[in-house]
Every structure is written in C-alpha cells, then in structure tokens.
Amino acid sequence: MAKANVLIVEDEKEIAELIRFHLEREEFSTRTVYSGRVALEAVSREPPVLILLDLMLPDGRGSDLLAEGSELSGSTVVVVITGEQGLD
C-alpha cells in the first residue's frame, strides 16, 4: 500500500522538521518546502493528499497560496497551521 503524500509548507525549518519527523514516524510520505512559490511548483508536479500550510511565509501569506492554487484537486485537504495571533 502506498503511503499518503503530505506537503509541509512551513518557513521555520525547526518546526517543519518536527512535523516531518512525526508524520514519517506514522508512515506518511512527506515533502517540505519553505515558500509559497515552491509549494505551488510542488503541487503542480505531484498533488499531495494533505497540505499542512503555514499562513506566514516569506513570499506572501498562505491564504494567498490557496487563492492561487488552481492545481489543488478536490481531494487535497489543506490544514492551516500558524502562530499568527488575531486571525479574522
């Protein structure tokens, strides 16, 4: 059985590594990217089953990535992860 593919979009490398470690321990396949632009490229090459998306990225907001992400299939689940306070 193939492992579920998870894309981690997180610019803080320590946080991304912690998430990756725990997912791979549970036998998920992971890819980690550190910017929205690279995330869009990764999604277009191989759409993941799940995207863990930070809202605060060096090249824009994660929510902008969702708006641009026409490559996301209807079966891709996006979970927003953020340390940002005061979300509207």
Dihedral, 15, 20, 22, 24 alpha carbons, nearest 10: -170
pLDDT value at 86 more than 80: no
**Stretch among 27-36, 39-48, 59-68 having the lowest mean pLDDT:** 59-68
Check residue 52 and give its pLDDT.
96
Side chain identity, residue 81: I
CB 32 within 8 A of CB 20: yes
Across 33-45, average pLDDT: 90
More confident call, 69 vs 12 = 12
> Can you give the pTM of this predicted structure?
0.85
Q: Is 48 buried (19+), middle (13-18) or exposed (0-12) by CB count in 10 A?
A: buried
The residues near 22 (Cβ < 8 Å, ≥ 6 apart) are none
Check residue 11 and give its pLDDT.
93
